[in-house]
Every structure is written in C-alpha cells, then in structure tokens.
Amino acid sequence: MHSGALHGKHVLVTGGASGIGKACAARYRAEGATVFVADINPTSSDEIQLDVSDSAAWTALIASLPPLDVVHLNAGIVTPGRTQGDPSVIPLSDVTDEAYRAITGVNLDGVFFGVRAVLPGMVEQGGGHILVTASMAGLGGMPGDVAYTATKHAVVGLVRSLGASLQQFGVCISALCPGFVATPLVPVEAREFITKEMGLPVIEPSRVAEAAMQAIAARSHGSQWIIWGEQIKQYLAPDLGLV
Ligand SMILES: NC(=O)c1ccc[n+]([C@@H]2O[C@H](COP(=O)([O-])OP(=O)(O)OC[C@H]3O[C@@H](n4cnc5c(N)ncnc54)[C@H](O)[C@@H]3O)[C@@H](O)[C@H]2O)c1
C-alpha cells in the first residue's frame, strides 16, 4: 500500500541497479517520485553510469539533473576478496593497498563527494533529504571486514556531523543502518551460514526501502535507522551541544 508520499519529487539513488538501491528506487517510484538511478554497472539504458568515487563525475552528474528533493547515497562494496557476513578474522596485512583504496573510494569518498556535490542545490532551493546507506557495521564492530566497518563508521560520523548544522537550511541528512540483507553482496551460502549457524536474521531489501520511507517522513536530523529483522528503530547519538 503506497501513499504517494513522494509525488512530484525528484530522487537520485546511487548503486540503484542492484539489491537495496534497486528496491529503494522501486519503492520511491511507487510513491510517485521521478527516480534517477546512477550505478557503476547500469543494467538498463534508463540508468546513468557513475563511479561514485570520482568527484568530477559527481559535478557533471548534478549539473545534468533537475533540482533533487531526495538523494540516496547507497552504492557500497565490501573489501575486495571478502564476503559480507564471513565472520572469520583476516590479518590486516592480507588487505592490499589496492583493496583498501577501493573500499574507501566507494564507501567513504563516494558519500563525501556525493554530499558535497548535492548540498549547494538543496541549500539554494531551501530543502531536501540526503539519505546514506551505512550499515549496522557503522554502529558496532563487525569482525572480519575491518575496512568495511571503518568506512561505515566514517559515513555515520559524516551524517552525525552535518545533521544539526544543515537544519537551518531545511536540509535533512540521515543514515540507514541495516543488518544482513539478501542482496548479491551477501552470497546465498553466506546467508545460510548467517541464519543457520549464527542464528541472525537476513532481511529482504524491501524492508530497507520501508525504513527509507520512514526516515524520509521523519526528517530527524543526523539520525541513524537500525533495520534488524522485523525491527525498524531510530537511533540518535548523544548531542554534543555544539550547534
Ligand atoms: N547486503 C547487506 O547485508 C548490507 C547490510 C548493510 C549495509 N549494506 C549496504 O547497502 C548498500 C547497497 O548494498 P547491496 O547489499 O544492495 O549490494 P549490491 O551489490 O546488491 O548493490 C550495490 C550496488 O552498488 C553499485 N556500485 C558499486 N561500486 C560503485 C561505484 N563505485 N559507483 C557507483 N555504483 C557502485 C553496484 O554496481 C551495485 O549495483 C551498500 O552501501 C552496502 O554496504 C548492505
């Protein structure tokens, strides 16, 4: 059941060709939005080719789009050579410089460059919502993929840092923090291990899309949204009282 909550809105979703981004793009469309999908691997001619880690590409993309009401910075990868949900700990020395640069490029630079590119337009039009797909690994220490956990904590920090100060411009920024989600990032064997051996939930991407809609409606500045099993819960870090 959809309410048309995004009727007439322009929405951009990065990493929208697969998994969580694809489910969110479909939900935004169902809610009445015009949705632009940008992905490094577009799967149709309607999708825009974008490497989120390329700041010049961000500038060109934003110049080519109409004013955006919602920007969902969702593209992300695990450290090359790792599998999401693999609990085994690997020595940091096994993470090559190239793998480290790749994951920080997509998961952290991709979000930083995206926020930096879209903010001036939102400030000028007097409003908007930036939604970042972080992870539960952005709130707690996930063993195994240390670099992934570090990048997700970093983007949660970015959201918290900007949350209060963007309020005066009518711009909201918030983070989605899902647990394990059934997408190509978590191969089927890993999903089975997570549910059967670890006893943890693996949810459908549509559940994250539901949380995204709740976050957009709530406009809670600098908030994190925990999506764990059937639970969708808003979380706010302590206010340092600096804004
Ligand atoms: N699946 C999970 O369990 C899970 C849990 C928590 C958070 N997340 C996060 O959700 C987000 C989406 O992941 P997913 O699970 O849907 O994975 P996915 O692999 O299904 O989708 C990721 C998409 O991002 C795109 N992408 C990768 N690098 C890119 C780049 N440089 N520029 C543009 N697009 C790029 C991919 O082509 C793909 O379409 C990621 O940020 C991920 O870290 C996933």
Model pLDDT for residues 104-119, shown as the tens digit of each residue: 999 999 999 999 999 9
pLDDT of residue 71: 99
The residue whose two tokens read 């020395």 is 93
Nearest CA to ligand 1 atom 6: 135
CB neighbour class for 84 (10 Å; exposed up to 12, middle 13-18, buried from 19): buried
**CA-only gyration radius of the chain, Å:** 17
Q: Which domains does the chain have, with CATH numbers?
A: 10-234 (3.40.50.720)
Calculate the average pLDDT of the chain: 95
pTM: 0.97
pLDDT of residue 239: 83
Q: At 231, list the tokens.
A: 């639970």
Ligand 1 atom closest to Cα of residue 51: 32
Q: Alpha helix (H) ranges present in the chain?
A: 19-30, 55-64, 97-104, 110-125, 146-166, 188-192, 205-218
> Which active-site residues does the annotation give?
148
CB-CB neighbours of 134 under 10 Å: 29
pLDDT digits (tens, 9 = 90+) for 193-207: 999 999 999 999 999
Cα 77 to middle of ligand 1, angstroms: 5
pLDDT of residue 133: 99
> How far is 227 from 235, CA to CA, in rounded Å?
11
Cβ of 103 closer than 6 Å to ligand 1, yes or no, is no
- Tell whether the model's pLDDT for residue 1 goes beyond 90: no
pLDDT of residue 238: 85
